[in-house]
Amino acid sequence: MVRTPPSSADEPRSGGVMERSCGTPLPSGAALTVAFLATSLLFHGPLGHSPVLRAQELPAPALAPAPGVWKGAVDQARELILDRMEEQTVPGLSVAVGVDGKIVWAEGFGWADLENRVPVWPSTKFRIASISKSLTAGAVGTLVEEGRLDLDAPVQEYVPSFPEKEWPVTTRLLGGHLAGIRHYRDREFESMVHYDDVVDALQIFANDPLIHEPGTAYEYSTYGWNLISAVVQSVAGEPFLNYMRRVVFEPTGMTETVAEHVDSLIYHRSRAYLRTPDGRIINAPYVDNSNKWSGGGFLSTASDLVRYGQAYLGGAFLRPETVELLWTSQHTRDGERTDYGIGWREHLEGGRRIISHTGGAVGGTTVLVIYPEEGVVVAILTNIQGAGQTGNAREIGELFMTADR
């Protein structure tokens, strides 16, 4: 992959935050000069056929010195991302890193829209997929703190329209993928059906039997989080999306996070892509994620997700005991650890605690990683399906944790 040196670079923005992007000349009035890589996007076949990304054409980021102690970490992380994007054939990617309550680096790479050559910026919104569960967990936490939600009460106490099952189903078990609610079937992952309300979306699975007795096995289920959204809406006494905006997004500074309404004009929304078995990049099919707002329907930026992760560390959003409730792994009835709390994964590696969630959407792959003891949060968002970023996020986190500060 050939990389051209930057033609110029601007100074870091106020607050020591490194916010950069790549791409075509900026709109009038913007004070950033952009350099491009010399590699090319090759099209094969007649006009209108899908492109093959042979040598990944990535607009070069504006390479300004990172603030103070973070320069080395940012330089290494940038090289890592460019290499991995080429290896994984990723059209567009956004990354952000927070340290000790501040975002110290945020940068966009590649294209938000390949056809129209729209670059990725730190403000580009991506499908965050299952990280939506972690956001919804924040709503659950607020209601538990207020004493309005009993995690161990049968869900019918809050959503009486949900049919009784052979065994009781509770919010705690739903949140830990232990309740026996099934996951996607057939083409449900690519649903094009619109649902006006989270309760309406329960009809997808409401009449299906549980796949196991609650508490006896861990079986990942996005639909379990659909039911949680109905619980949150009932307890809150207002529409689920309104509650998320008012109680979760606004208090944590997530000004760029929204539900992906297909009929709405959402500024800085990335296009979504798939990779075919023979390596072609094609547009992802149309989907309507109103069937799973809480489990995989939000759009966000890498910076917003880092802000959300940092909010869990600061104590201003949720009490420490509530954070522990959401983060700490649940166990099956026979004592087997699941590595999943309520909306968050908890890993213990070499004495280090790692809290995270990944996401895989139609046309998106994402990850959010929190290192609680070290005060480091990393988010990576992409606009292509099946391009795992967990390893990249872990490596970037390590770069920032080992930097002298």
What's the pLDDT score for residue 35? 30
Q: How far is CA 256 from CA 3, 109, 121, 305, 353, in A?
A: 31, 18, 13, 10, 29
Could you list the residue range(s) of the whole structural domain that residue 157 is in? 13-29+70-405
Distance CA(278)–CA(353), nearest Å, equals 39
What's the pLDDT score for residue 189? 67
Q: How far is CA 14 from CA 19, 25, 65, 285, 393, in A?
A: 10, 23, 14, 40, 25
Distance CA(138)–CA(322), nearest Å, equals 9
Does the annotation mark 130 as catalytic?
yes
pLDDT in tens, 233-245: 999 999 999 999 9
Residue 145 lies in a domain: yes
Residue 214 lies in a domain: yes
Residue 120 lies in a domain: yes
Residue 219 lies in a domain: yes
- Neighbouring residues of 245: CB distance < 8 A, sequence distance ≥ 6: none
Residue 45 lies in a domain: no
The count of structural domains within the chain is 1
Residue 55 lies in a domain: no
**CATH number, domain with residue 378:** 3.40.710.10
- Residue ranges of the chain with pLDDT lower than 50? 1-58, 60-65
Residue 49 lies in a domain: no
Which member of 21, 94, 123, 130 is catalytic? 130
pLDDT in tens, 331-388: 999 999 999 999 999 999 888 999 999 999 899 999 999 999 999 999 999 999 888 8
Residue 351 lies in a domain: yes
